[in-house]
Chains A and B, each alone.
Chain A
Amino acid sequence: MLSLWLNVIAGGVLIGLVYGLVALGLTIIFGVMRVVNFAHGEMVVFGIYIGYWTVRIWDVPIVLAAAIAAVVMFVFGYLLETLVVKRFVNRPHHYQFIVFIGLSLLFSGVLLMSFGPDPRPTASQLSFQTVSVGPLTLDWARIQAAATAGLLIAALGAYLKYSAFGRSLRGAANNRLGGLVVGLNIPRVYAVTFGIGTACAGVAGALISPLFDAQPYLAVDFTLLAFVTVIVGGLGSFGGALLGGLTIGVAEAIAALMFTPSMKTALPYALLIIILIFRPRGFFGAKDI
C-alpha cells in the first residue's frame, strides 16, 4: 500500500516537472509582455506531434526530438510574435484574450485538418520501459521527460539570471518604459521572449509524446492546465510555475488514485477556483494586473 502511494506520488512529481516547464513558458510570456497566451496548449500539442513524427520517422531518442521541437517552436513563436501578437501587445486585456482565443481556434483547426481527429498512440518502445529503484517502479519515459524538463528549467533560470539577454528581459519585464529609455530593443526582447515561451511548451509536448496519444483536442486541456499551474504559483513568477507544476502533478496523481478518473480531470479546475478565490495572486503572486 505504501509503495503504491510512493509510486503514485513519484509519478506525480515527475510529470509535475513537465507541467512546470509548460507553465514556465506561459509565465515568462506573461511576466515580460503582459499578454495572456490562451493558445499555449496548442503549442504543447504542436510539440507532441513533433515528438510523435520525429520518433516515428527517424526513430531518434526522445531527448533529440525535444531539441528539434525546441528549435522549431522557438522559430514559430518568434514569427508569431513579430507577425501577429506584436500588434495587440498594447491593446486592452480582453481584446488580447479574444485574439488568443482566435489563435487557439485557428491552430487547433489546422491540427485537425493536418492530422485528423483520431488519437495517434505512440509506437515507440520507450512507452513501455520501466525502471525499478527500491520500492519504486517508474516509466523510463517519464524519468527522461522529468530530468530533461528539470535541467531545462534550471538552465533557463540561470540564463535569465546571469546572461546579458536575461538582464534585458528582466528589465523589460520590470519596467518597459525604463527599458526603452536605456536603449533596450524592446520589440526584439518581446519576440525572443515569446519564442522562448513557445519553445518551453513545445519541448514539454515532445517530452510527453510517449505518454500521451497525439490528439488535437488535448490543446484546451493543456491551456487550462498551464493556467491552473501558473495561477497556483502566481502569474509571472518563475519559482511559482515550478512549484505550481509539482503541486498539480502530485494532486492529479492522488486524485486519480483516490477518486474516479473524471475527478482527475476536474481537480485542476477545482484547485483553480479555490485558489483564485482565496489567494488570487497565487503563492508567489505578481503585482496586480
Chain B
Amino acid sequence: MQRTSNQASDTKRWSAGALVFAALAVVGGMSNAYVISLLTIVLLFTFMGQSWNLMLGIGGQLSIGHALFVGIGAYAVAILNIKYGVTPWIGLLLGAVIAGFVGAVLAWLSFRFEVRGIYFALLTIAAAEFVRIMFGGWDYVGGMQGLFYQAPSGAMDLGMLRGDARFYYFVALALAAIGVAGTELISRSYWGYVWRAMRDDDEAARALGVRTFRHKVLVVSISAATAAIGGGVLGLVQGAIFPDSIMGMAISVDVLIGPVVGGLGTAFGPLVGSMAAIPLHHAMGALGDALGLPGLNSVAYGAVLILVVWFLPDGIWPSIVRLYGATQLPARGRIPQLRKVEE
C-alpha cells in the first residue's frame, strides 16, 4: 500500500518536472532576445546551484568558493578552444576532470586533518581567491586582460558548441534538466542515503560502517566537476572570461543564492531560487543604473539572503510544497534540518 502510493507520487513528480521543462522549452522558442539571455544565465546557475546543493544540501559541506571550480571549467574550455582550436566538448570534460581533482585534493587535505565546518568553508574561499589572483598575473591564461572567444557567426555547430543565443538557451535548459533529474536520482540512490546520513550525524554514520571520509571527498569532487561543466558553458555564453568575472566572489554568491532561496537539499529548489533571485538581481541592477545608485543590486541580494534565512529557512520551494498539501509528498518532501555543531 505504502509502496504504491510512493510510486504514484513518484510518477507525479517526474511528470511535473517534465512539464516544467517542456514549458521552459516553449518559452525559449517564443521569447525575445533579452528574456532568452537572462533565462540562459538563470538556467546555468540552476545547474551550478545543483552542484553546490549536492555538496551542502545533501553532503553537508559548505563551500563559499565554488567560483574556483566554475573558473577552472571556464578556463579549460577557453584555453583549449581559443589557443588550440579544440572542441569545447573536450574542454568541458577536461575542466570537469581537473576541477574534480582539485576538489578532491582540497577535501582530502582538509578532512584528513579534521578541517571541517566553517574552516572548510574558509579554505574554499581562500583557494578561490588565491587562484583568481594567480590567474590575474599569469600571461598564458590571458592575465587580467582575459580571454575572448571569436565572435559567433550565428551558425549552429553542435560539434563546436557554437550557435546563437537560442542555441545556448537550449544547452542551458538541457543542463538544468540534467541537474534537477540528477539530484533527484542521486538523492535516492545508495550514495544519497549515505551522504544524508553523514550530513545529519557524522559519528552515527561512521558507527554504521560508512566510510565518511571517502564519501566527503567523493561528494566534493563530484560537486566540483559539475560546477566546472556549468562554468565552461557560462564562459562560452559570455564570450569572454576574466579572472574577476568568472572566479570572483560574486560568482560564488550567484551559485549559492539559488539553492538557499529555493530550498537546500531539494531537487527543484535551485531552479525556483535562481528564477526568483537572478532576475531580481538584474532588475535591481538596471534600476540602480537608471537612478544612479550602483549598489542597488547588491543591496537586493543581501536583503533577499537575510530575509529568506530569517523567515523561510527551508527556502521557497518547500513552502510551496507544504502549501500544496503536506500529504502529497511524505518522507521525501521533508526538509533536512542541519544541526548547529556545538563546541
Q: Which range holds the interface residue count of chain B?
A: 35 or more
Q: Which of B288, B295, B338 has the most CB of A within 10 A?
A: B295
Q: Which of A84, A111, A266 contacts B295 (CB 8 A)?
A: A111
Q: Mark B130-150, 1 if CB is under 8 A from A, else 0.
A: 100110110000000000000
Q: Does A220 contact B (CB under 8 A)?
A: yes
When the two chains form their complex, are residues A288 and B118 in contact, meaning their CB atoms are under 8 A apart? no
On whether A109 and B309 interact (CB within 8 A), knowing A94-B338, A97-B64, A289-B118, the answer reads no
Q: Which of B110, B301, B343 contacts A102 (CB 8 A)?
A: B301
Stretch at the interface among A142-150, A202-210, A276-284: A276-284
Q: Which of B133, B295, B340 contacts A108 (CB 8 A)?
A: B295
Q: Which of A87, A93, A112 contacts B62 (CB 8 A)?
A: A93
Q: Give the A interface residue count (CB, 8 A).
A: 51
CB distance from B214 to the nearest CB of A (A): 19
When the two chains form their complex, are residues B341 and A289 in contact, meaning their CB atoms are under 8 A apart? yes
CB contacts (< 8 Å) of A269 on chain B: these are: 126-127, 129-130, 133
Q: Does B293 contact A (CB under 8 A)?
A: yes
CB distance from A35 to the nearest CB of B (A): 10
When the two chains form their complex, are residues A87 and B310 in contact, meaning their CB atoms are under 8 A apart? yes
CB distance from B41 to the nearest CB of A (A): 18
Q: Does B174 contact A (CB under 8 A)?
A: no
On whether A277 and B115 interact (CB within 8 A), knowing A90-B340, A92-B339, A105-B305, the answer reads yes
CB contacts (< 8 Å) of A22 on chain B: these are: none
When the two chains form their complex, are residues B297 and A273 in contact, meaning their CB atoms are under 8 A apart? no
Q: Which of A91, A116, A287 contacts B343 (CB 8 A)?
A: A287
How far is A270 from B297 in the complex, measured between Cα atoms in Å?
Answer: 31
Q: Which of A269, A272, A287 has the most CB of B within 10 A?
A: A269
Which partner residue on chain B sits nearest A282 by CB separation? B119
How far is A121 from B260 in the complex, measured between Cα atoms in Å?
Answer: 38
Q: Does B125 contact A (CB under 8 A)?
A: yes
When the two chains form their complex, are residues A231 and B122 in contact, meaning their CB atoms are under 8 A apart? yes
How far is A263 from B297 in the complex, measured between Cα atoms in Å?
Answer: 31
How far is A272 from B125 in the complex, measured between Cα atoms in Å?
Answer: 10
When the two chains form their complex, are residues A99 and B306 in contact, meaning their CB atoms are under 8 A apart? yes
When the two chains form their complex, are residues A276 and B117 in contact, meaning their CB atoms are under 8 A apart? no
Which partner residue on chain A sits nearest B120 by CB separation? A276
Q: Does A3 contact B (CB under 8 A)?
A: no
On whether A288 and B294 interact (CB within 8 A), knowing A103-B302, A220-B249, A272-B122, the answer reads no
Q: Which of B56, B118, B301 contacts A36 (CB 8 A)?
A: B118
How far is A278 from B115 in the complex, measured between Cα atoms in Å?
Answer: 9
Q: Does A98 contact B (CB under 8 A)?
A: yes
How far is A218 from B122 in the complex, measured between Cα atoms in Å?
Answer: 18
On whether A277 and B305 interact (CB within 8 A), knowing A109-B297, A112-B294, A265-B133, the answer reads no
CB contacts (< 8 Å) of A224 on chain B: these are: 125-126, 129
How far is A94 from B56 in the complex, measured between Cα atoms in Å?
Answer: 9
CB contacts (< 8 Å) of B163 on chain A: these are: none
When the two chains form their complex, are residues A94 and B294 in contact, meaning their CB atoms are under 8 A apart? no
Question: Closest 6 CB pairs between A and B?
Answer: A112-B295, A106-B302, A102-B305, A109-B298, A105-B302, A109-B295
A sample of 27 inter-chain contacts (CB < 8 A) reads A90-B340, A92-B338, A92-B339, A92-B341, A93-B340, A93-B341, A97-B64, A98-B305, A102-B304, A102-B305, A102-B306, A108-B295, A109-B296, A109-B297, A112-B294, A112-B298, A113-B299, A227-B122, A265-B133, A266-B133, A269-B129, A273-B126, A276-B122, A276-B126, A277-B109, A280-B114, A288-B343
Q: Give me the interface of A with B, judged by CB distance under 8 Å.
A: 34, 36, 84, 87-88, 90-95, 97-99, 101-113, 116-117, 216, 220, 224, 227-228, 231, 260, 262-263, 265-266, 269-270, 272-273, 276-278, 280, 287-289
